[in-house]
Amino acid sequence: MNAINPEIEYNFVIGKSPQIQEVYRQMQTAAKGAGSVLIAGESGTGKDLIAQYIHHKSGRAPNPFVPVNCGAIPKELFESELFGHKKGSFTGAVNETAGLFRSANTGTIFLDEITEIPLETQVKLLRVLQEKRIRPLGSTEEIPLDVQVIAATNRDLEQVLWNRSFREDLYYRLGAVTIYIPPLREHLEDIPDLVAAFIQKLNRRLKRNILGVHPTIIEQLTNYSWPGNVRQLENVIENAYLLSKGKWITRLGVKLEEDIQSLVRSTGEISTSLDPSEFYLPSKALSTSLRRKIQSAAKSPAGVLILGEEGTGSHMIGREIHRQSSYAKGPFVIVNCDTIPPELFEKELFGNSIFEDTQEHFEGYMHQAESGTLFLYEVTAIPYRIQILLCRLFEADRMRPTGFSRDLPKNLRVIAYTSQDLNRALKEKSLSVGLYTRLSGFVIHLPTLREQKEKIPEFADYFVKLFATQQQRPAPRIHDDVLASLMAYPWPGNLLELRFVIQGALTSANFGTIQKHHLPDQLGIHWQTDEHTDTRGKLYDVEQALLQEALQKADGNKTQAARLLGISRKKVYKMLESSPLHHESGF
């Protein structure tokens, strides 16, 4: 009998509905046959797990199962990556590579996102399927193969065939058995069985004995349209499981909006919002509400997505989750995605490629964060292709990107932040639905400073004591007029701007009380607070001084200056536009 990974059957091949029973029947047929298999379905429906199931149930189970994310391979490297190459066959080919098809020999190769393969490579793939032989790039020798091919796509097959971005003859060759996985909204009656399976899996993993969920929760779950499908449901159940106190889950940790009209509207609602009145102090004095959310996130390896305007304290939340997690002994590595040029992302995240003409070893952020936490600041700035690669990394047991000599580490935690509107990011595809689904185990909204003005005196007092301690001096008193000005100002830059203001005022006050004339000019104006105000006024005495200091340290490099300041490159450009140096020195 073949050894089956119980997680494969348990997660997605569950349900009594006719649609799922048909999927199960087709899977059994595919496992018994030797022909190619084509799996179609939306993101989050479990195409990769069904491919694994077919392999493990087949006679090829003891042999390799090689997953390939076609959407993550650069166009110019497809042939080399799939079929291998000889040493010296192209610039940078310093070693001979067998290719993924040969790695899967006698086993199964899973070509996920098959429709992303370029047309010229589709022709060669068709020939391999027909003749069961490959010819590595730069070789004259043909090598016989014994490989079962399973392909998958989340695209509309009729559309890609109609617009001729996918070859019709390749489609028919791949589809000896075609399995369509319905979206969860088309078989909502299976949700109770799926929920029970997820709870049993969590009980085994976390050594608990949760008995199930309250019927009202099941009703909520079956009234939702699930744009992220079964994977999203699993994230929601895990979140509720970690928040539960008794033997039954009686509430969800996220809000599910009924009657979803569109993907963007719905995904924007799947979140755990923080009450602005319970926002944290920038210290260990966290609110009870936020402390609970951080503790729940820290206990789980699930992804965390932090949303909020710039300057609202995402780094602090990320660090606190890391500090309380099982990864606390490892590093906390911040990647400011907005400062990395798109063409350097792959190297910055993953390190050197074997195709690079360099003798220097470069350790990417992923390896730097091994056994710790990777904090992706402004995650929507990551190029779409790299987002797809990260999705695959979260799913696979082991992962080696194209052209790299070693696997990426799996034992790390990923926390992400964006200041972008989530609805717009999903609609405009600056954030892929797949990556969002994997990061949204816990989604935390951070309120703006103008939404919690009653906390400003506490924040100001904290920053005064913090900077006074750093400067080894007594903490001065803040005059009441200063507090009144701080309370009246709209704070478009949130906590980060307040920090800059207090730091500058403390320096100006020397050893006396912080007075109103120690504040930047714009805080002396009588503000009519408007939540839509988007002006920063003149922060030359603080922000501009810090910016110029950072630029000097970075030899004028704005990207490096942004990293030093811990802000986005876009924000650096905005600060420069209001600076006299922008006009005088050509910045």
pLDDT tens-digit profile of 531-544? 433 334 434 445 66
Q: What are phi and psi of 497, to 5 degrees?
A: -65, -40
Question: Starting at the edge strand that comes first in sequence, how are the strands of the sheet with 413-418 ordered?
Answer: 272-273, 442-445, 304-307, 413-418, 373-377, 332-336
230 pLDDT higher than 80 = yes
Task: Return the biggest CA–CA distance within the chain.
Answer: 85
Q: What is the pLDDT of residue 416?
A: 94
Confidence (pTM) = 0.52
Q: What is the pLDDT of residue 402?
A: 55
For residues 534 and 492, the answer to whether their CB atoms sit within 8 Å is yes
Q: What is the pLDDT of residue 531?
A: 40
54 pLDDT higher than 50 = yes
pLDDT band of residue 382 (cuts 50, 70, 90) is: very high
Q: What is the pLDDT of residue 93?
A: 61
Q: What is the pLDDT of residue 277?
A: 34
pLDDT tens-digit profile of 118-175? 998 999 999 999 999 988 888 878 899 999 999 999 887 877 887 788 898 898 888 8
68: β partners: 111
pLDDT band of residue 373 (cuts 50, 70, 90) is: very high
pLDDT greater at residue 382 or residue 338: 382
Average pLDDT over residues 13-30: 87
Across 31-35, 322-326, 409-413, least confident range:
409-413
Average pLDDT over residues 480-488: 89
C-alpha distances in Å from residue 106, one per residue of 34, 56, 59, 67, 289: 12, 13, 10, 14, 54
Query: HEC profile for 18-43?
Result: HHHHHHHHHHHHHHHCCCCEEEECCC
Q: What is the pLDDT of residue 568?
A: 64
361 pLDDT higher than 60 = no
3 pLDDT higher than 50 = no
356 pLDDT higher than 70 = no
Average pLDDT across the chain, whole number: 78
Across 256-260, 323-327, 335-339, least confident range:
256-260
Q: What is the pLDDT of residue 398?
A: 57
pLDDT tens-digit profile of 91-107? 666 677 888 999 999 99
Amino acid (one-letter) located at 580: P
Q: What is the pLDDT of residue 192?
A: 92
Q: What is the pLDDT of residue 520?
A: 79
Q: How far is it, in rounded angstroms, from Cα 237 to Cα 226? A: 13
Q: What is the pLDDT of residue 144?
A: 92
Share of the chain above pLDDT 90, in %: 18
The three-class DSSP label of residue 478 is: strand
pLDDT band of residue 549 (cuts 50, 70, 90) is: low
406 pLDDT higher than 90 = no
267 pLDDT higher than 80 = no
Q: What is the pLDDT of residue 532?
A: 38
Average pLDDT over residues 248-252: 87
Q: What is the pLDDT of residue 465?
A: 82
* Closest CA relative to residue 247, chosen from 210, 276, 283, 281: 210
Half-sphere exposure of residue 532: CA atoms within 13 angstroms, side-chain side: 0
496 pLDDT higher than 70 = yes
Across 9-18, 331-340, 375-384, least confident range:
9-18
How would you classify the pairing of strands 143-144 and 133-134?
Answer: antiparallel
Quick one: residue 308, left, alpha or beta (phi over 0 = left, psi -120 to 50 = alpha)?
A: left
Q: How far is it, in rounded angstroms, from Cα 254 to Cα 271? A: 5
Q: What is the pLDDT of residue 259?
A: 31
Q: What is the pLDDT of residue 42?
A: 87
pLDDT tens-digit profile of 280-316? 444 444 566 767 788 888 888 888 999 988 888 888 8
pLDDT band of residue 67 (cuts 50, 70, 90) is: very high
Q: How far is it, in rounded angstroms, from Cα 114 to Cα 22? A: 23
Q: What is the pLDDT of residue 346?
A: 82
For residues 496 and 310, the answer to whether their CB atoms sit within 8 Å is yes
Give all domains of the chain, ordered by start, each with its CATH number.
6-182 (3.40.50.300), 186-267 (1.10.8.60), 293-447 (3.40.50.300), 450-524 (1.10.8.60), 540-584 (1.10.10.60)
